Structure 1
Amino acid sequence: MTIGFSFRAAASRTSVTRAALTCSAVCLAGVLAAAQSPAAALSGAATRAPAPAASPPSTLYQPGTQVRPRAGAPEVPEDISALSWVVADARTGDVLAAHNAHRRLPPASTLKTLFALTVIPALPGATRHTVKEEELEGIGAGSSMVGVAEGITYKVADLWRGVFLNSGSDAVHVLAAMNGGWTNTATEMQAKARSLGARDTQVISPDGYDTPGQVSSAYDLAVFGRAGLRNPDFARYCSTPEAMFPGEAGSTYGIQNTNRLLTGANGVEPYPGLIGVKNGYTTNAGNTLVAAARRGSRTLVVTVMNPQAGGGFTVYEEARSLLDWGFAADGRVDPVGTLLDTRSVPAAGPSAQAGRAAQAGPAGRPGPSTRPGPGTRPVTTARPVAAASPDDEGLGWSDAAEIAGAAVLGAAGVALALRLKPRRTPRG
C-alpha cells in the first residue's frame, strides 16, 4: 500500500497555498503603500508640516546686557544703573533683553511676590482670623508695617492688602502662622520657586527681610511676577492703589500702595497701564522693583534690582525706561531666552477678570533644571512644541513592518497547515 496523496489533491493544495501567498503579497503591498516612503519624506511630498526650527541658545547666563535686535529696533537705554534687570513678555515668557539676569542679589520685599504665590491658594480671602500675640513675634527691626494688632479680627483679604500696599511684614507673619508657621512657609516657598524653574532663589525669611544667605535674581523675580498675573486675587491686590484697613474698635484707616509708578506719589509720574507688582527696599538690597504694565494686547514684566545711581526713586525711572523700550521693541527683537514656565497668560489687571477666569485647568510645569558648573555656558532648550496626537501621525515604517511580518507569517502558517493535514489513503 502506498502512502501519499493524489496529484489532484496536491494540485488543490498547491493552489490554496499559492492563493494564500498571493493574498499576503497583496496585503503587504497595501501596507507598504500606506506607509510614507523615504523618498517622499525627503522630497517634501508628504503632507505633514515641517517641524519648527529650534530657538537660538539662551544667553541669560552671560554677563552684561543681552539683546538680539533686528533691523530698526530701538537701542536699549544706556543709562540703566541697576546691577541686574530683565524685560519679558508676560504672555509668551520671552525675555526681550536682560542685564546680569541670574546674578544673585538680596530681593528685599519683592520676595513677597513668591510668598503670595505660595500662600494665596491656601487661604481664601473671606476667611476671618483673630490675631494672637505670638503671631506678631520675631518681626525684624525696621520692617515695614501696616498696623496689624493683637485681638483684632481680620479678613484674609485685608491682610493681603496690607502685604501688597504697605509691604506689611506684620501681615506676612500672621498669614504665615495661618499657613502652618514661618519655617513651613519658607519651605513651601522654596518648593514653589523650584516648581516654576526659579533656581537662583534661596528663601530664609518669607517677608524678604535682610537675612544672610537669602537671595534671588531679576530672572526669578520676573518669573514670580509673571506667574502672579495668572492669579485673579494676586493681580487685584498688586494693582490696588488705595484701600481701607481695619483698626481698633471697628474703625478703619486708609493705606496707600508704596509702588509709586502705580500711585504717582512723591512726584513720581504714574506709568500708563501699570498693573503693579511689588517694590522693596532694605539696606543690603537697595531698591528693588517688579513692575508689570499693559499696552493694548501686550503685557510686559520688568525687574530692576539695586540701581547704583540717583536716589530712592531711581528704581522707578529705570523701570519706566525699560517698559518704554520693551513696548517700542515689539516685534523688533528676538528673545535672548525665556522664562521657564511657558504657560500663556492673559492681559492682567482688574479689567481682565473674565479672561483669567476662562483660563481654567492646571497646566504642566517644567521639571527641575541643572545649574551649569563653573566655566560651563548654559543653553536653554527650544520652547516645547505640542506632540501630535495619534490620529495625526499616519502609518509609520515600524508599524508597516510589523503588519507585513504578520501577514507573511500568517501565509506561511496556512501553507504549513495544509501540508501537515492528516492524509486519507486513496482507494483503488
Structure 2
Amino acid sequence: MALDTLLSRKAGVLAVIAAAGLTLTSIPSAARAEGVAQGRRAEAVRGTVADRLQDRTGAELAGAGAPALPAGVSARAWTVTDLRTGDVLAAKNAHQRLAPASTLKTLFAVTVLPKFRAQAVHKVAPKELAGIGPGSSLVGIQENRSYRVADLWRGVFLRSGNDAVRVLASMNGGWTATAREMQARARQLGARDTTVKSPDGYDSPGQVSSAYDLSVFGRTGLANADFAKYCATASARFPSSGSPAFGIRNTNRLLTGANGMRRYSGILGVKNGYTSNAGNTLVAAAERGGHRLLVTVLNPQSGASNAVYNEAASLLDWGFGAVGRTRPVGSLVAGAAAPGGRAAGPTADGAGGGDGGRTAGARPVAAQVSRQPGRWSETTLWAVAGGFAVALAAGAVFGWRMYVRGRQTPGDGR
C-alpha cells in the first residue's frame, strides 16, 4: 500500500508538471503563429505598391496596348493613382521616406479641417504667430485681427502660409498636440512612412513622408468637399487691417498656369511644396474622360525649370492613356477614403483598393497591424496567460485528488 500511495502522489505531481509543460509548449507555437500572421499583415500594408523603374514600358506593366511610361521623369519618387478605385497604376520608390515640404499640409488639412466651421471667426493672438521658421511662406496674417476660418484655410492652400497653419494649429490645441494628432491620423489611414515633426511641412530633423503616403492624404482630402474646394481655388481675396482685402494666388502652377506653365486641362488642384531639404514636391489631381487620377512627385533631379510640374503633367497624361489598359502595381490601403466619402475596399492580398462601394465600413488594414510586427499582441498574451492558468488549475485539482486518494488507502489507517 505504501507503494500505491507513493505512486499516487507521484502521479499527482506529474499531472501538474505535464499540464504546465503542455501549456508552456504551446506558447512558442502561438507566438510564432501570431508573429507570422502579423508579419504578413504588416507586409500587406508596407508592400502594397511595387516599385517600378522609370524606364520600364507600359507594356511591361500591363501587357499589350498600354502606353510607355514617359521619358525623362527624374523625380526620386512618384506614384500615379486612380482616385476612384485607389489602384496605383505605376510607381517608383513609392515607400521611400523623403522630406515632404508643404505637401504635408494635406495631412494637416485632413486632420484639422473638419473641426471648425468655415464661417467661424477667430481673433489672432500674438503668441499664435510665434515660432514660424525663417524663410517660411506667409499669407500675411496680422496680430489682434479677426479672420474667418475659411480665410485661414485659403491662406494654407493658396499661399501655403505657415502663419495660417500656426493659427489653425493653435485653435486645435497647439503645435505639439496637432503634430501628435496628425501622426495618429496618418497611422489610422495606413500611412506608415510618415513622421510628423512640424505640421506646416517646414524642414525638421526626422520629418519624412513618401509618395505613397502623400497619395493617401491627397485622396482622403479630396473626399472632403471643403478640402476639394480650397485646393482647386486659383485665386481669392484675403482680408487686411486698415485697407481693402488683397489678392492672393495659388502657388500650384498646374492650377494657375503661371511662371511659364500652362494650366493643366481638368486640374482638380491639391498641393505643392518646396524646401531646401525636400526640393520641389507636388500632389496633383485631374479629371479627363470620366476618369480621375492623382500623381505625387517628389524631388525631381533634372534641375530643369518647372520640373516638378512638367513631370507631374507627363505622368497624368500617361495615366489617362493607361487607365483601363494596365494592371495596377498596387493600391492604397483601406483606411484612405475615396472621393465621395467611401472607404476603399481590400484587395486580395489584404491591402486596400477597389471600388469603395464594395466594402462599406471595412476596417482599415492598418488597424489590424501591430506597431511591432512579429511581437505578441496584447490579446495573444492574455489568451496564452489565461490558457496557462486554466491548465495549471486543472492539473493541480487532478493532482490533489490523486494525492488524497493515496492518503485514504487502508494502509494509512483511515
Question: Which TM-score applies when normalising by structure 1?
Answer: 0.68
DSSP 3-state at the match of 1:159: helix
Counterpart of 1:98 in structure 2 is 91
Q: How does 1:71-82 map to 2 (within 5 A)?
A: 71-82=64-75
Q: How does 1:192-271 map to 2 (within 5 A)?
A: 192-249=185-242, 251-271=244-264
Q: Distance in 2 between matches of 1:267 and 1:235?
A: 25
Shift of 1:88: 0.4
- Contact map agreement 1:92 1:345 (CA 8 A) in 2: no
Shift of 1:311: 3.3
The AA in structure 2 aligned to 1:336 is V
* Gaps in structure 2 of 5+ consecutive residues: 1-43, 342-359, 374-414
DSSP 3-state at the match of 1:140: coil
Q: Supply the RMSD in Å over aligned alpha carbons.
A: 2.4
- Contact map agreement 1:91 1:346 (CA 8 A) in 2: no
The AA in structure 2 aligned to 1:197 is G
Structure index of larger Rg: 1
Counterpart of 1:70 in structure 2 is 63
Q: Structure 1 residues 86 and 94, CA, compared in 2 at 3 Å: closer, same or farther?
A: same
Q: Distance in 2 between matches of 1:58 and 1:326?
A: 21
DSSP 3-state at the match of 2:90: strand
Q: Distance in 2 between matches of 1:372 and 1:60?
A: 21
- Contact map agreement 2:48 2:331 (CA 8 A) in 1: no
Which stretches of structure 1, 4 residues or more, deviate above 2 A after TM superposition? 57-68, 341-347, 361-373
Q: Distance in 1 between matches of 2:101 and 2:337?
A: 27
Counterpart of 1:345 in structure 2 is 339
Q: Distance in 1 between matches of 2:286 and 2:197?
A: 30
The AA in structure 1 aligned to 2:110 is L
Q: How does 1:18-417 map to 2 (within 5 A)?
A: 60=49, 62=51, 64-65=53-54, 68-249=61-242, 251-341=244-334, 343-346=337-340, 364-368=363-367, 369=369
- Contact map agreement 2:239 2:245 (CA 8 A) in 1: yes
Q: Distance in 2 between matches of 1:363 and 1:162?
A: 35
Counterpart of 1:420 in structure 2 is none
Higher helix share: 2
Question: Which TM-score applies when normalising by structure 2?
Answer: 0.70
Q: What whole-Å deviation, never above 9, does each CA across 1:75-128 have from its counterpart, x for those lacking one?
A: 111210000000000110000000000000000000000000000111111110
* Of 279-288 and 120-129, the range deviating more from structure 2: 120-129
Q: What whole-Å deviation, never above 9, does each CA across 1:377-419 have from its counterpart, x for those lacking one?
A: xxxxxxxxxxxxxxxxxxxxxxxxxxxxxxxxxxxxxxxxxxx
Q: Structure 1 residues 95 and 372, CA, compared in 2 at 3 Å: closer, same or farther?
A: farther
- Contact map agreement 2:52 2:91 (CA 8 A) in 1: no
Q: Distance in 2 between matches of 1:140 and 1:333?
A: 44
Shift of 1:61: 5.0
Q: Distance in 1 between matches of 2:186 and 2:163?
A: 23
Identity of aligned residues (%): 60
Aligned residues: 307
Q: Structure 1 residues 98 and 108, CA, compared in 2 at 3 Å: closer, same or farther?
A: same
Q: What whole-Å deviation, never above 9, does each CA across 1:171-213 have from its counterpart, x for those lacking one?
A: 0000000000000000000011001110000000000000010
- Contact map agreement 1:287 1:312 (CA 8 A) in 2: no
Q: Distance in 2 between matches of 1:363 and 1:122?
A: 24
The AA in structure 1 aligned to 2:194 is T
Q: Structure 1 residues 343 and 205, CA, compared in 2 at 3 Å: closer, same or farther?
A: closer
